[in-house]
Structure 1
Amino acid sequence: MNYQISPSLMCLDMMKVPEQLSFLDEKADMFHVDIMDGHYVKNIALSVDFVRQIKPYTTIPIDIHLMVAEPMDFIDNLIEAGADSISVHAEVISSYAFRLINHVRNSGKKVGIVLNPATPIEVLNNYAHLVDKVTVMTVDPGYAGQPFIPEMVEKIKKLKQFREEGNYQFLIEVDGSCNKNTYNLLLNAGAEVLIMGSSGLLKKDIPLSDTWQIMQNDIVQSLSA
């Protein structure tokens, strides 16, 4: 079974960013960068400047997850900073979804849509053919380390069916509680990109080389169970 790993850079040890970034750049498929504005979610995370600073030291795609109230305010600066793909929440773009999606696409970047746990798949109906990735949140957005919402397994299955019936091309990504307790459920439901944070990979008390190997072993074992 094919899958991609996208480490959440918000969960890096900020005292070891250069060495952890270098290690992950050789192992992962893309980098996941959370940007929060303190309005859409009550938290502040990474920034456009962070993307600009790490870009020269990365060879894999930088994938932005915008948890902000006004994503259009960030798009052009992120493109200039070096973002390779930008994902936005469906809940905040209803009045300008096509303008935003087409602007990102016309800039030569990939675009994704993020669905909160309570957001139905049907919001994708009119623009699913235009997006490169759909992210299913398996926790409420805004904070790392939250408990997994089990109802999202069925949602991932429905999203995969939705893609097949519409002959869409987007990847199915999962954000939240990707770890040894959920790998089997998520991958067998149809997940193709796993965002790896504090529960599955980035643990401050264990060397990253060790947690990477543990993660890979856990995934292999879960798929053979």
Structure 2
Amino acid sequence: MDINLPMPAVSASVSCMDLGHFYNHIKKVEESSAAFFHYDVVDGKFNKCYILGDMLCEYLHNNTKLPVEVHLAVYDIDNYIDVFAGKGVDYIAVHYEAMEKPAIIFNKIKKLGMQPVLAYRADTPPQEDFVELARQCAWILKLTVNPGFSGQTIKPTAVEHIKMMKKMLDDNNVDKRIQADGNVNPATTKMLAEAGASIFTGGTSGLFVQNYSIEENIKKLLQPTKDFF
């Protein structure tokens, strides 16, 4: 599914949703202006935790009209791509740190009917091949914290990496957007937008803040970024 993302855009982090009332929470996200679902998969090796599996992803796909981005924070990428391709997802984010031959991985994702997203850990700066790899993907996912644990604060070096990425893209006339994922809340979105991010993955500290609707939280997230878009 090709989607026209709004500028700026907010995605909903599934791992931060109320999984005990998953269907109802899916519908609450759909009633908001969230652009897509962000579905984290962590294998216990890429980071020392395990998050979300394939069966829940299939349930999500079967119960939403919104696109689904699966974020593979894993090392054995090939097997995970095969599994999640059968779950009806739209985007697969794969990590630079886990790919020996990115072009082969990207082509596999495309042949299976999805679009690749190029992902980087919080502590990984863009390398010399960044622009060429970015050209082959839907957008770039930059982690601003380590994957899998909520409640972390943004790593300043990750913000600097976003600035570097944005400059490299602009200098080479590559029209690809940057997604910031981790500790995205009203206190950080201005800094992230100023650095060059225009897609914001909302979780416990920003999108699912209790006592407010999801749409109210989206407005609070994006209000600090209004001077950049």
Q: If the length of structure 2 is used for normalisation, what is the TM-score?
A: 0.89
Stretches of structure 2 lacking an aligned partner (at least 5 in a row)? 1-5
> C-alpha displacement at 1:89, in angstroms?
1.0
Alignment of 1:76-225 (within 5 A): 76-93=82-99, 95-122=100-127, 123-203=129-209, 206-207=210-211, 209=213, 211-221=214-224, 223=226
> C-alpha displacement at 1:107, in angstroms?
2.3
> Which residue of 2 is the match for residue 9 of structure 1?
14
2: CA distance, partners of 1:147 / 1:181? 11
Q: What do residues 108-141 of structure 1 show as CA deviations (whole Å, max 9, x unaligned)? A: 3110111112212115244222111111111122
Distance 1:222 1:132, change over 3 A: closer
> C-alpha displacement at 1:208, in angstroms?
5.5
Q: Secondary structure at the match of 1:73?
A: helix
Q: Secondary structure at the match of 1:201?
A: coil
User: Is the CA contact (8 Å cut-off) linking 2:141 and 2:180 kept in structure 1?
Assistant: yes
Q: What do residues 137-177 of structure 1 show as CA deviations (whole Å, max 9, x unaligned)? A: 11122312211112322221221111112222322100111
Stretches of structure 1 lacking an aligned partner (at least 5 in a row)? none
> Which residue of 2 is the match for residue 22 of structure 1?
27
> C-alpha displacement at 1:217, in angstroms?
2.9
The Cα RMSD (Å) is: 2.0
User: Is the CA contact (8 Å cut-off) linking 2:131 and 2:168 kept in structure 1?
Assistant: no
2: CA distance, partners of 1:148 / 1:221? 17
Amino acid paired to 1:213: E
Amino acid paired to 2:7: N
Distance 1:217 1:119, change over 3 A: closer
Q: Secondary structure at the match of 2:86?
A: helix
Q: Which runs of 4+ in 1 moved over 4 A?
A: none
- Figure out how many residues of one structure are paired with residues of the other and give that number: 221
